[in-house]
Structure 1
Amino acid sequence: MTTFTDTGWPGSEPVRKTTQTKKRARQTGTAWTRSGCLTCKRRRKACDKAKPSCRNCTKQGRTCEGYGSLWVEPLGPSAHIFTPAELSKRRSGLSPHTGLLSPSLSPHPDNKIPPRVQTPKSDAPEEDSNEEISLAVIQRPRNYVPHLSDHELHYLQYHVEEGSKLLANLESDDNPLRSLLIPRAMSSPLLMKAICAVSALHLANRSQTFSALTASANFYGRTLAGLRAALNDSTQGSLTDDAMLAVGLMCKYEIVRGSVKQWGVHLSALQRMIASRGGLRTMDPDAGQFLRGLYLYAYNMARLSNRKRITAAEPNPTDTDLGAPRLDIYIGYTEEILKLCGAIADLPSLKGDDIALRLAIASINGALLAWSHDSTSYIIPQSLTPASLTRLQLVAECFRDAAFIYLHSVLEWLAIKVLGQASSLQMTDWSSLVSIPKSMAVQRCLARVETFPLDDHCEYSALTFPLFISGCENETIGHRDLVLRCLGKLQVNFGIGNVRRAKELLGILWARQDASAQHEVGSPVHWLDILDELQWDLILA
């Protein structure tokens, strides 16, 4: 038996490994040909090529799709090559039914594709020599998108069908993960590698496929090498939009991986690159809007759990006029809430000025009470359904509940850990400035979430932070099961690695809290202290 290892390197040939297993006898019958009908091609069955419909399909009661070309028929977001059943069962990094993208996504004839540059291999995990990964070799017509390898085409197709839908908090026909990134990547090898790195990692998370994990590490290493070359070749202010988009995708890669360290490096690099360009307004408008939403979401989520390491950015790349605000695929209706959470994270810096601290608490509380999803008028994509907008609004309400919980949490941490146990009376005084009690905010947030189906509607993927902070600050054992169950659904349905990290931290926190309550010794255990002990830079985006 001959097997193949998916190396993930663009342009690489599968590496043959010979095992001692018995060879299977080849089935006899009519050879599969590329000139058969589309139905037989997809089923990889022999076709008698009868017209207008082949007799094989007619005998089996199937609809014959005719004799078009698999290579020119568009495979857009509605295609279903990567089905959930295949993701759970298939061990291979490639599906034998993998299709290619629409020619509309191919480079414009006038675009000049730079030659492929061989870069050093990244430190990717080595494949277990005892593990056999089957790889279907894709056959494609000569000169079709010649600068892309089979692996790139495979992971790009997965990105179109699955990843782009599940790696956003809002799905529409105008999703920039497709409409913006893919056309640019077809003429940008650097951006293509970044997309494939994220796509392969996401596939690995959802399918537990070793070959996809190896491919993601290889694409990731090649993207970093390409970025280093771009930075070395650039002069001040001449960084390309594609290079900055690739850095944004590196932030996304680390979030999907569940990193607790490296993502901060990429986020800081993105901020510096935007500043060196003179701000987002110097970029292509669509690219600037995309990076604004991604940065604002990741940056403010990072400040919640990394107050010491992530501080107010100067200059702030989101403070720029990019025209009328669009309903962003990451922040949706939550932009003002995210900024208020960032202000909450800065409250400990006011611990030496009680008046300033009280004024800040009152201001944040008032802004949270006054917030409404329609406080800001957004440009809404025409393809969005009323159901999608309703889900987005409900998620935003959960974020407001979570912001109240987070406000109480920071005030309690500030009073007990910074000012000492004797400050409990002052802590109570601070809490009186918050209109919604913590227990009410927790109960209301979890009651909302419990009514959500938490299926693969991507709006629900944003619920990691509300669930996490509710789990940290709840005082009911029954709530723990609900939080873990809901986080588990998010992890399975959306394949984001940081959900797993959030569950790990909650497990450690609850164990410490139970031990402390059992022995009735020590000060209350706080999740921010656990993060400091672990030295985790947890991001909840």
Structure 2
Amino acid sequence: MANERYFGRACKTCRRRGRGCDRRMPSCRTCEASGQTCEGYLLQWPGLASRGQFVGKSIPVPGTNKRRRLRRAQQPTTSSPPPPTLPQSLQSPANNDDPPVTPENVEGLFNPTQLMGITDVGTPSDPLNWFNDASFIKDFSEPLIEHQPEDADAESPPQAHSKELGGYMDFHHMLGPTLDILRIPDELKFIMQYHISEVVPKLCVDNLSPQNPYREYILPLAIEIPSLLYACAALAACHFNVRLSTNQFEHEFFRFKGKAMKRLQEDLYSQTRAKHPGTLATILMLCLCDLCHGGLSDLQSHFRGAKRLIELRQERTIGCFVEQYLAWLDVMAAASHSRSTVFSSQEIITLLGESGDRWSFDAIPCPSDQFQIVCEIVTLYKNQLDPDNPSVETLTQVSEIKQRLLERPAHCERGQNWLHMTEAYRFAIILYLLRLFSCDIDEFELDWLVSSVLYHARATPPASGWSDQLLWPLFHAGLELQDAKRQEWVRERARCMQSSGGFGNVKSALVLLEGVWKGKRPAKYIDLMLGHGSGTVLLI
């Protein structure tokens, strides 16, 4: 009994069932007595006293230090062993600006093995009030840790993976200086090389665009911020799996994403690190990880955290790019789900105003003028007293919005591919508007709208950035398809989009369409993209 250890809070099973837990490690007696499997304990923050007499205190706790000094004085003098070193997988990329690790700042390191035996520890020196919100921390960490492999901190043999990866890509396409010069950890070199060569171009509409914010802005930040570096690596691992229809890097995806989440949590406890633009960029890359993995996720916690960071920073990233993309994701997630947007309409207008009422880079396929109409549609729907029975005034506004969309000038200034992509979005937004408000649609008008989306989608070259960005328009056109030939074309284009673009939410969209084509369509559009559990499908 003397050797038994206890954790600082109840296990996952007892917490979920709302019952008492004796907190014994590695599994509690409460679960054993009831014949249930104990799911273990959530990792806790280093430096955060969540309970006990030292709650809210800082490391080092004075009384504890005195007792430790007394114990050391009583121990016989022996040769001291060398200080322990962190495994390479837990070390951050070298940075000449980083302060040396001392007992005063050691709480910035995350050591799960030591943490399991310590329940009452202190808080960081300059905590941010909202980052100490337990629900906020839980939203970020709990879903990830529960699905993380047990050996998430174990390293992968980089040489073995480099050989496997070399069969799929040409390492001579490396952009910029070599990864050795950038001091990338060995376990990330192979996957970051893939990220730079294959993922970064696909994140922009024009894959050959000379101005790529992910290459010119995000990657330099990733060299400075470990959380962002691991988020980029996680995205690359997932992209590799989806694009090549393999599970080769599934383990690495969860492991790298877990490390990104842990380091992000550490960054949020320091006001200086939280204000760094790389912290906000980390949240964006984690959102893209969820999209790439299938789009089935509750991204609202990411959006809430991003909004608080934006308010805290009081300054913008280059071209307001990161803020704009997060707002775009937030609106598109709320457009097809019952929740409201995290970013208000006025905040979105302000973000667009930072770059002259247009997107700052070619990373978003929907033109800014059409996107503002989508924001208007979402706001109108969410503000209804009874969404199931729109009022006459609401339907009048719907008709006015539809007319404005039809009268908008076409975006011809950037060539045929941009024209067809933006026109596909125009007609898809009208389809979305009419279905969202359950409007009566003339059969011929419906066929014209669907045919217009398909025409412009077919006019974009397959396996290109313009074609890969048309998932949202094709999905809304596909909901109305009855013809087997057209359905088969959508299937083939979706498979092409996934193998070219590398994002798994394409497959999620196709699964939903297959259900609709088999007659399993819910009565309300807003219920269409409900996923399993608390997750919902996000399509862009």
Smaller-chain TM-score range? 0.5 to 0.7
Displacement after TM superposition at 1:316 (Å)? 5.2
Distance 1:341 1:284, change over 3 A: closer
- What residue is the counterpart of 2:368 in the other structure? 335
Residue-by-residue CA offset, 1:155-200 (whole Å, 9 max, x unaligned): 2211111001113323312101101111122222222112111112
Q: Distance in 1 between matches of 2:279 and 2:100?
A: 15
Distance 1:484 1:323, change over 3 A: closer
2:197 paired residue among 161, 166, 177? 161
Residue-by-residue CA offset, 1:101-151 (whole Å, 9 max, x unaligned): xxxxx99x9644877945549553479xxxx9943589xxx9944742122
- What residue is the counterpart of 1:443 in the other structure? 451
Cα pair 2:327 2:343 within 8 Å, conserved: no
Matched residues, percent identical? 20
1:461 aligns with 2:468: yes
- What residue is the counterpart of 1:231 in the other structure? 268
Q: Which amino acid aligns with 1:124?
A: Q
Cα pair 2:457 2:467 within 8 Å, conserved: no
Q: Distance in 2 between matches of 1:347 and 1:466?
A: 21
Distance 1:460 1:120, change over 3 A: farther
Alignment of 1:141-160 (within 5 A): 144-145=180-181, 147-160=183-196
- What residue is the counterpart of 1:82 in the other structure? none
Task: State the TM-score, normalizing by the size of structure 1.
Answer: 0.63
Distance 1:344 1:216, change over 3 A: same
Cα pair 2:505 2:539 within 8 Å, conserved: yes
Cα pair 2:295 2:539 within 8 Å, conserved: no
Q: Distance in 2 between matches of 1:217 and 1:391?
A: 36
Cα pair 1:405 1:473 within 8 Å, conserved: no
2:216 paired residue among 174, 179, 183? 179
Q: Distance in 1 between matches of 2:518 and 2:97?
A: 58
Alignment of 1:485-500 (within 5 A): 485-500=492-507
- What residue is the counterpart of 2:229 in the other structure? 192
Q: Distance in 2 between matches of 1:461 and 1:443?
A: 19
- What residue is the counterpart of 2:173 in the other structure? none
Structure 1 regions of 5+ residues with no counterpart? Answer: 1-8, 14-105, 378-385, 413-426, 517-523
Distance 1:207 1:145, change over 3 A: same
Cα pair 1:487 1:503 within 8 Å, conserved: yes
Residue-by-residue CA offset, 1:10-59 (whole Å, 9 max, x unaligned): 8359xxxxxxxxxxxxxxxxxxxxxxxxxxxxxxxxxxxxxxxxxxxxxx
1:409 aligns with 2:442: no
**How many residue pairs are counted as aligned between the two chains?**
389
Residue-by-residue CA offset, 1:465-486 (whole Å, 9 max, x unaligned): 1111111122333321122121
Cα pair 1:454 1:460 within 8 Å, conserved: yes
Distance 1:113 1:164, change over 3 A: farther
Displacement after TM superposition at 1:256 (Å)? 0.6
Cα pair 1:119 1:225 within 8 Å, conserved: no
Distance 1:438 1:225, change over 3 A: same
- What residue is the counterpart of 1:294 in the other structure? 325
Cα pair 2:424 2:456 within 8 Å, conserved: yes
Cα pair 1:293 1:330 within 8 Å, conserved: no
1:540 aligns with 2:539: yes
Q: Which amino acid aligns with 1:275?
A: E
Residue-by-residue CA offset, 1:425-450 (whole Å, 9 max, x unaligned): xx44xx58x9x922210011112222
Q: Distance in 2 between matches of 1:10 and 1:410?
A: 52
Q: Distance in 2 between matches of 1:533 and 1:209?
A: 23
Task: State the TM-score, normalizing by the size of structure 2.
Answer: 0.63
Q: Which amino acid aligns with 2:304?
A: S
Q: Distance in 1 between matches of 2:408 and 2:458?
A: 23
Structure 2 regions of 5+ residues with no counterpart? Answer: 1-85, 102-107, 114-144, 152-156, 167-177
Distance 1:458 1:10, change over 3 A: farther
Q: Which amino acid aligns with 2:449?
A: A
Cα pair 1:461 1:494 within 8 Å, conserved: yes
Cα pair 1:293 1:331 within 8 Å, conserved: no
